Amino acid sequence: MLDYIALGILCFAAVVLFYGIIVLHDIPYEIAVHRNHPHQDAIHAAGWVSLFTLHALWPFLWIWAMLYREDRGWGFGAGGAPKEHVRHLEAQVSELQARLAAIEAALPARQQGASAEGES
């Protein structure tokens, strides 16, 4: 009777270990799904490949899945910084356009004054 109980515990432990390893290797994929990673399928496939390469790829998959965040993309800065930088650049461009328009408006007046001096 104890032999059957021991065999049952051994089979149960083998099944739990088998599925536990599969669940562990799906952690990077689950992180990628949670972060809406653009390479979810590649991370999932590489997780399966990692099972057959003695888990050599798994740490790299974890890093790959953790690098991307939907709010900031691949960047490492704060989420709002790039948007504020773009607004600052747009303000500089509009200022330069206004200065250029003022210079162009003053240019014909100078040319007319120069042509009048040349005639006299």
> What is the reported pLDDT for 49?
94
CA distance 4 to 94: 82
CA distance 95 to 89: 10
DSSP letter for 80, please.
S
Q: According to the per-residue pLDDT averaged within each range, which of 16-20, 74-78, 104-108 is highest?
A: 16-20
pTM of the model: 0.58
CB of 35 closer than 8 Å to CB of 69: yes
Chain mean pLDDT for the chain = 87
CB of 39 closer than 8 Å to CB of 64: yes
Q: What is the pLDDT of residues 15-38, one digit of tens each?
A: 999 999 989 989 999 999 999 999
